[in-house]
Amino acid sequence: MELLDKLNWRYAAKAMNGEKVSEDKIERILEAARLAPTSSGLQPFEIFVIKNQEVKEKIKPVAWNQSVVTDCSHLFVFAAWDTYTAERINYMFDLTNKIRGFENEGWENYRQMLLSTYPQKNAEENFNHAAKQAYIAFTEALTAAAFEGVDATPMEGFDADAVDQILGLREKGLRSAVLLPVGYRKENEDWLVDLVKVRKPMEDMVTVIE
Ligand SMILES: Cc1cc2nc3c(=O)[nH]c(=O)nc-3n(C[C@H](O)[C@H](O)[C@H](O)COP(=O)(O)O)c2cc1C
């Protein structure tokens, strides 16, 4: 199947059958998320992969009781940095220098520019920026899941504060941004499975400026 066929195949599953997704597929989906581009390469988020059924049961009531939270195989929680700190910025710049094996003046100047701007900003503004980066990885995971023939339900319908509390995210300097239950569709119980995909026409979305 071509990528576009797979993107047409995928949909936001409303019912899943509890079947387990193999760990090698899960690893490839997570690797796609890890490879996501992010602003300044900071990757300002972490992903929690919940396999534990009791934890899923705790999250379900604070996620509008959506059945896929418990009937999925793995529940991914994309958690963004609560703010940008000098330590977090330095970590990524130091990692880059270590992996590439050299320091570069332009790159070091860029580090100083980020250090003199991000940490001074309002934490909420920084979280919102970090959450946008988490969404990029989330989309990569969604596409990778489709590529693997695995269903995934993008999910913003949850109480972020409650999920943060259940997973102890605030103590880690993180805040939940978006959820992605991953598993397999339960076709006979999903009202959405046979409905035609609705997208606005290309001309209402794209403007080409010659
Ligand atoms: C960021 C985001 C949050 C969403 N939150 C929910 C959700 O909480 N529950 C749900 O059933 N669907 C949720 N959806 C699914 C959308 O309604 C769905 O993607 C959209 O209607 C397009 O349909 P399709 O994904 O089936 O092609 C969400 C989608 C996105 C991208």
CB 154 near ligand 1, within 6 Å: yes
Looking at the fold, whether 145 and 187 belong to one and the same domain comes out as yes
pLDDT of residue 151: 98
Q: With respect to residue 186, please indicate whether it lies within any of the assigned structural domains.
A: yes
Domain check: are 200 and 133 in the same one? yes
Clarify whether residues 69 and 91 are in a common domain. no
CATH number, domain with residue 158: 3.40.109.10
pLDDT 10s digits, 162-175 = 999 999 999 999 99
pLDDT at res. 105: 96
Ligand 1 atom 11, closest CA: 14
107 and 177 co-located in one domain: no
* Same-domain pairing of 92 and 27: no
Instruction: Please give the number of the atom of ligand 1 that sits closest to the Cα of 63.
Output: 8
Using CA positions, which residue lies closest to atom 19 of ligand 1? 12
pTM: 0.97
Ligand 1 close to Cβ of residue 12 (< 6 A) = yes
Four-residue CA torsion sign, 77, 82, 87, 91: positive
Same domain, residue pair 144 and 201? yes
- The residue nearest atom 9 of ligand 1, judged by CA position, is 155
User: What backbone torsions phi and psi does residue 90 show, to the nearest 5 degrees?
Assistant: -60, -35
Domain that holds residue 142: 2-84+121-205
* Cα 54–Cα 55–Cα 60 angle in degrees, nearest 5: 95
140 CA from centroid of ligand 1 (Å): 15
The confidence band for 140, taking pLDDT boundaries of 50, 70 and 90, is: very high
Name the nearest CA neighbour of 139 among 24, 17, 37: 37
Ligand 1: which of 8, 66, 76, 153 to mutate, judged by most atoms within 8 Å of the beta carbon? 153
What's the structural domain count of the chain? Answer: 2
In angstroms, the CA 190 to CA 66 distance is 12
Band of pLDDT at residue 57, cut at 50, 70 and 90: very high
Q: Which of 104, 120, 136 is the last residue of a domain?
A: 120
153 lines ligand 1 (CB under 6 A): yes
Mode of pairing for the β-strands spanning 151-152 and 45-50: unpaired
Residue 210, in any domain of the structure:
no
Regarding whether 60 and 30 lie in a shared domain, the answer is yes
Same domain, 151 and 73: yes
Could you tell me which residues come within 8 angstroms of residue 72 by beta carbon, excluding any fewer than 6 positions away?
A: 16, 56, 153, 181, 182, 183
Same domain, 70 and 94: no
